[in-house]
Each structure stands twice: as structure tokens, then as C-alpha cells.
């Protein structure tokens, strides 16, 4: 089936879970991580979806939850905000690091800070369970590429390293977007899941979806997703189409189909 037909079929499921990445999916990238804004078409559509019966909406991001609230303008009364790949969400939440995990995080911190110091413009972002080496502001592209590779393959026992767009993320916990989607599907009783994302970390989410679900990759690059939209604007239009389809052709719990 093409995307329109698949979307219509999934939108009719009795209990739908809609999950979206944020940066590169709902908002364009910026060298200042807090100078971004949510695509207005997507924002309206997600709010509409979240208000429908038997429809859960989540933003699942590598950002920590407080940062996600700041850039999106949403809070938990609007929809589910799953920060740190879900580790900070009430669904699948990690309560505290063990002493061993804290030691791993400390080693990630040391390694990333040493690497960041080697190229002007690089910096390390501190999150509750992660450290993120940012290279989008690096002034020397060749040096930044070298640092990127070294960070991506750093020898830190117990660390979970994830390269992304202009970043390398190091975590002391094994929580991926796929892990969170699997937990959320079960906890929320979703009969189908839609996941939209653009980055390498989103591939973990795409990988856990089944034949009755819908996965959409934003932008270019190899992917496990079933379908693709070209950019953030295309993602916004997808969510608008989904909201209309869910409203008109939704499952048993959606108003007008009870």
C-alpha cells in the first residue's frame, strides 16, 4: 500500500499511539538548540490528535524533559513528553542510576570533555542519564569529523554510544526509543503505533514496529521506516492528514464511530 492507504488503515485502529521525534522532525535544526520552534501545522495536528478519544500522543526525544518543555511549549497535560529517549517519562522511567552506572557516566563525561576541548565550538551537553557531544558549531570540519569518529567508537565499558546528526550521545543506561515504544505500547494498550523520526536514534524505534504499525522517516538516509517524507514541513502535513483521518475514520473509541 502507499502511504495514504496505510495511514487511513492505521488511523482506524481502536487505540492509537502516535509518537514523534522532535529535532529534525517537528522542528528545524539550529546551532542554538533552544532557538527552535515547532512546525505550526504539526503542532496543531498533534494537539488535535491528543484531544481525540483512544488516541495517545507522545514526543519522544533525546532532549531532557525540561528542555523539551521549553522548546515545545507543551507539558504533560497536553501530551506525553518522553525525554532522554523515554528514561524521563512516567512510562518506563529510570528512577536513579546505580553506582556502577554513575561511574560509567562519569567516564563518558571525561572522555567527551577531552574530545570537545580539541576543536573550537564543540561542547558537551549534560542530561540526567546521558552526555551529548555537540559538533554543529565546530569551526574545523575535518577535525570535527575526526572527533565524531573517536567519540562514536570510544572504549568505555558499559557505555551505550549513539552517533546522530552533528552529535554523539553517550548513555549509562540501555534505554532506546525502541525500548520506550515497546513499553508504552503495552502500558497504554495501543492496538497500533505510528512513529515519525529523522535521525539514527529513531531507527531503534522503527525497528520495533510491526506490520500493523506505521513508520515514517523524515529526510534522506538509509532507514528501516516503511515510508518517507522530505522534510519538517512534510512531517507537519503528514500529522495534519493523520489528524483528519483519525477524526473521520478512527477506531471504535473515536467520536462518531462509537
pLDDT tens profile 26-69: 999 988 888 899 999 999 999 999 999 999 999 999 898 888 99
Burial group, residue 81, by CB count within 10 angstroms (0-12, 13-18, 19+): buried
Q: Are strands 160-163 and 167-171 parallel, antiparallel or unpaired?
A: antiparallel
Q: 67 and 165 in one domain?
A: no
Q: 191 and 76 in one domain?
A: yes
Band of pLDDT at residue 106, cut at 50, 70 and 90: very high
Write out pLDDT tens, residues 128-152: 889 999 999 999 999 999 999 999 9
User: How far is the CA of 148 from the CAs of 59, 99, 165, 201, 204, in angstroms?
Assistant: 27, 28, 10, 16, 20
Domain final residue, candidates 142, 171, 200: 171
**What CATH number has the domain bearing residue 65?**
3.40.50.1000
What domain range is 183 assigned to?
A: 3-93+176-249
Q: 196 and 129 in one domain?
A: no
Q: 156 and 36 in one domain?
A: no
Q: 153 and 26 in one domain?
A: no
* Residue closest to 202 by CA, chosen among 241, 163, 166, 242: 163
Domain final residue, candidates 171, 186, 213: 171
Q: 63 and 44 in one domain?
A: yes
- Domain for residue 161, yes or no? yes
User: How far is the CA of 185 from the CAs of 10, 21, 45, 75, 210, in angstroms?
Assistant: 14, 16, 21, 21, 12
- Domain for residue 258, yes or no? no
How are the residues of the chain apportioned to helix, strand and coil, as percentages rounded to the nearest 5?
A: 40, 20, 45
* Residue closest to 196 by CA, chosen among 166, 161, 248, 237: 237
Q: 11 and 84 in one domain?
A: yes
Q: Can you give the pLDDT at residue 61?
A: 94
Q: 226 and 205 in one domain?
A: yes
- Domain for residue 132, yes or no? yes
Q: Can you give the pLDDT at residue 139?
A: 94
**What CATH number has the domain bearing residue 112?**
3.30.70
Band of pLDDT at residue 93, cut at 50, 70 and 90: confident
- Domain for residue 255, yes or no? no
Q: 86 and 21 in one domain?
A: yes
Domain final residue, candidates 171, 192, 217: 171
Separation of first and last alpha carbons in the chain: 27
Q: 131 and 85 in one domain?
A: no
Amino acid at each position: 500500500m502507499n502511504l495514504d492507504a496505510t495511514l487511513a488503515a492505521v488511523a482506524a485502529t481502536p487505540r492509537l499511539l502516535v509518537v514523534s521525534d522532535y529535532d529534525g522532525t517537528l522542528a528545524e535544526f539550529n546551532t542554538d538548540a533552544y532557538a527552535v520552534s515547532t512546525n505550526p501545522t504539526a503542532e496543531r495536528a498533534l494537539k488535535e490528535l491528543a484531544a481525540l478519544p483512544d488516541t495517545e500522543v507522545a514526543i519522544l526525544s533525546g532532549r531532557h524533559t525540561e528542555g523539551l518543555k521549553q522548546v515545545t511549549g507543551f507539558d504533560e497535560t497536553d501530551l506525553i513528553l518522553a525525554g532522554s529517549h523515554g528514561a524521563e517519562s512516567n512510562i518506563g522511567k529510570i528512577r536513579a542510576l546505580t553506582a556502577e552506572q554513575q561511574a560509567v557516566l562519569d567516564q563518558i563525561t571525561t572522555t567527551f570533555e577531552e574530545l570537545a576541548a580539541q576543536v573550537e565550538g564543540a561542547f558537551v551537553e549534560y542530561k540526567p542519564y546521558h552526555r551529548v557531544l555537540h559538533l554543529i558549531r565546530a569551526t574545523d570540519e575535518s577535525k570535527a569529523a575526526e572527533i565524531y569518529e573517536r567519540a562514536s567508537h570510544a572504549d568505555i565499558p558499559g557505555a551505550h554510544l549513539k552517533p546522530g546528526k552533528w552529535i554523539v550521545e553517550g548513555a549509562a543506561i540501555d534505554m532506546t526509543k525502541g525500548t520506550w515504544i515497546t513499553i508504552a505500547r503495552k502500558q497504554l494498550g495501543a492496538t497500533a503505533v505510528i512513529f515519525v523520526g529523522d535521525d539514527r536514534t529513531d531507527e531503534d524505534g522503527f525497528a520495533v514496529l510491526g506490520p500493523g504499525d506505521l513508520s515514517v522517516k523524515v529526510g534522506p538516509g538509509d532507514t528501516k521506516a516503511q515510508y518517507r517524507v522530505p522534510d519538517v514541513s512534510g512531517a507537519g502535513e503528514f500529522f495534519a492528514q493523520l489528524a483528519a483521518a483519525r477524526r473521520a475514520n478512527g477506531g471504535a473509541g473515536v467520536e462518531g464511530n462509537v
